[in-house]
Amino acid sequence: MSILVTGAAGFIGFHLSSRLLAKGYHVIGVDNLNNYYDVRLKKDRLTQLKQHNNFTFYQFDLGDYDELKDLFKMEKINIVINLAAQAGVRYSLQHPHTYIHSNLVGFLNILEACRHHPVDHLLFASSSSVYGANTSVPFSTKDSVDHPVSLYAATKKSNELMAHTYSHLFNIPITGLRFFTVYGPWGRPDMAYYTFTRDILEGRTIKVFNNGDMRRDFTYIDDIVEGIIGLLDQPPAINAGWNPSDPDPSTSKAPYKIYNIGNNNPVSLINFIRTLENIIGKQANIQLYPMQLGDVKETYADITDLYEAIGFKPKTSIEEGLTKFVTWYKRYYRW
């Protein structure tokens, strides 16, 4: 069984690939190793993956359709997990074109490749950010998500629409996963838990937006990986009971399904910082700022669907997850 993981040198792609390799799958990793954040971290993740002889890596950009076509001709691919994307909400205000290139053109190329080389299952990363201006919590996949508040979110919502179209037209079984603030060792240096840890350790001031009045459904990486793996052999079936006059947005007459994959237990930013301070053993110097453009106040996942499908139940508390992150951070940066 061969699984293509795009964004394999990224945070989630690395952890997912590691687990798949340990389970004996042949993992084909693709990544362009762009410099959105420290490339050394991406290369170090890859070094770990390359220790497995069931791992094959290709460095290219998903925007290059010829490269992707060649890959699908060369390798027999059973499952595709598309994680490659330009991530980050705030960066999308300054670098919009990167998002269109990687998230829309890149994803279209993945869909086209799966159209011409049928796969058993295509899974792709969406995001909790699609809930945008919604305030009714917990966020449910049954809610309408037509009010994104960042271009990043708009590209993720677009991915869901493009996926549904290809699923409908070409009968491709596609699952979209709305990830909720994923954190853990080997994480993303642009995310708050990472910069807070660095700044507290180095005695620098941390920037806290919306005066700390924010809540995030922080989800530990191992729980995310568990959820993705549980879904691999559960390609969505056509929902015969789907009612076009009262359409459930998360399912369809096409083999298409959208899930939330989150912790179902939001934590306030201030409690999050207090937990981090306790683990590090040092107080943070906090500077309060107003809400940032593109940000949302709260995220909170309703995970009923995923529980019903695969018994998904996140196991890692914020204390345990952050302790693992800080331990890794100190070792990696030799603190």
Ligand X SMILES: NC(=O)c1ccc[n+]([C@@H]2O[C@H](COP(=O)([O-])OP(=O)(O)OC[C@H]3O[C@@H](n4cnc5c(N)ncnc54)[C@H](O)[C@@H]3O)[C@@H](O)[C@H]2O)c1
- Which CB atom, from 95 or from 117, has the smaller least distance to ligand X? 95
Residue from 193, 184, 267, 177 nearest 220 by CA = 184
Active site residue 152: yes
* Integer Rg of the chain from CA: 19
Question: Cβ of residue 68: shortest distance to ligand X, in angstroms?
Answer: 9
If one asks whether residue 32 binds ligand X (CB under 6 A), the answer comes out as yes
Number of other CB atoms surrounding residue 51 within 10 Å: 9
Question: Cβ of residue 238: shortest distance to ligand X, in angstroms?
Answer: 26
Among the listed residues 21, 62, 154, 214, the single contact to ligand X using CB under 6 A: 62
Among the listed residues 107, 179, 259, 312, the single contact to ligand X using CB under 6 A: 179
If one asks whether residue 41 binds ligand X (CB under 6 A), the answer comes out as no
If one asks whether residue 27 binds ligand X (CB under 6 A), the answer comes out as no
Catalytic residue among 36, 91, 152, 193: 152
β-strands 267-268, 215-216: how paired? antiparallel
- Which CB atom, from 189 or from 247, has the smaller least distance to ligand X? 189
* β partners of residue 207: 287
Fill in the amino acid letter for 41: L
Instruction: Please report which residue ranges of 25-150 form alpha helices under DSSP H.
Output: 39-49, 65-74, 91-94, 96-99, 106-116
Q: What six digits make up the tokens of 1?
A: 């069984």
Cα gap 256→288, rounded to integer Å: 42
Q: What is the DSSP string of 127-165?
A: EGGGGTT---SSB-TTS-----SSHHHHHHHHHHHHHHH
Question: Cβ of residue 159: shortest distance to ligand X, in angstroms?
Answer: 9
Which residue is at the shortest CB distance from ligand X? 10
Chain mean position to CA 192 = 15
Among the listed residues 71, 182, 214, 232, the single contact to ligand X using CB under 6 A: 182
Among the listed residues 26, 121, 164, 188, the single contact to ligand X using CB under 6 A: 188
- Which CB atom, from 93 or from 238, has the smaller least distance to ligand X? 93
If one asks whether residue 63 binds ligand X (CB under 6 A), the answer comes out as yes
Number of H-type helices and E-type strands within the chain: 12, 13
Among the listed residues 87, 208, 231, 296, the single contact to ligand X using CB under 6 A: 87
- Which CB atom, from 143 or from 253, has the smaller least distance to ligand X? 143
If one asks whether residue 46 binds ligand X (CB under 6 A), the answer comes out as no
Among the listed residues 4, 9, 174, 318, the single contact to ligand X using CB under 6 A: 9
CB-facing half-sphere around the CA of 128: CA atoms within 13 A? 28
Chain residues that interact with ligand X, rule: CB under 6 A: 7, 9-13, 31-34, 42, 61-63, 83-87, 102, 106, 125, 127, 179, 181-182, 188
The set of catalytic residues is: 152
